[in-house]
Structure formats: structure tokens, C-alpha cells
């Protein structure tokens, strides 16, 4: 269980690092747009991301 969780975390870090590594200008622009959003919009994006992850997790297992 612990090693699986660490592997999942490592994979998340690899995927999260792809965009800043491959296209730093696009990543910076997206980050600046995100920083200018209202709290409600950011919360909605976070909720949508969690729900997409949950659906994907259920489909995979």
C-alpha cells in the first residue's frame, strides 16, 4: 500500500513537471491566468479535477 502510494505520487510529479519542462512560456501564461481567477473558479477547477481523477481511478480498478 505504501509503495503504491509513493509510486502514484512520483508519477503525479512527473506528469506535473512535463509542461513547465517542455513549454515554459505556455506554462507561465497558464499560471498567470489561473492566478487572476476568482476563488470560486479555482475551486470549481479543483473539484472537476478531483472528480475526473476519481472516475479514472474507478475505471482503472
Average pLDDT on 40-46 reads: 95
pLDDT greater than 80 at residue 49? yes
Q: What pLDDT, on the 0 to 100 scale, is given for residue 2?
A: 84
The residue whose grid cell reads 506554462 is 27
pTM of the model: 0.72
Distance CA 12, CA 18 (A): 10
Distance CA 40, CA 45 (A): 9
pLDDT greater than 90 at residue 1? no
Answer left, alpha or beta for residue 23, where phi above 0 means left and psi between -120 and 50 means alpha.
Answer: beta
Amino acid at each position: 500500500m505504501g509503495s503504491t502510494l509513493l509510486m502514484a505520487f512520483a508519477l503525479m510529479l512527473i506528469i506535473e513537471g512535463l509542461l513547465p519542462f517542455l513549454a515554459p512560456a505556455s506554462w507561465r501564461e497558464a499560471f498567470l491566468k489561473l492566478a487572476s481567477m476568482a476563488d470560486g473558479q479555482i475551486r470549481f477547477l479543483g473539484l472537476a479535477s478531483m472528480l475526473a481523477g476519481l472516475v479514472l481511478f474507478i475505471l482503472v480498478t
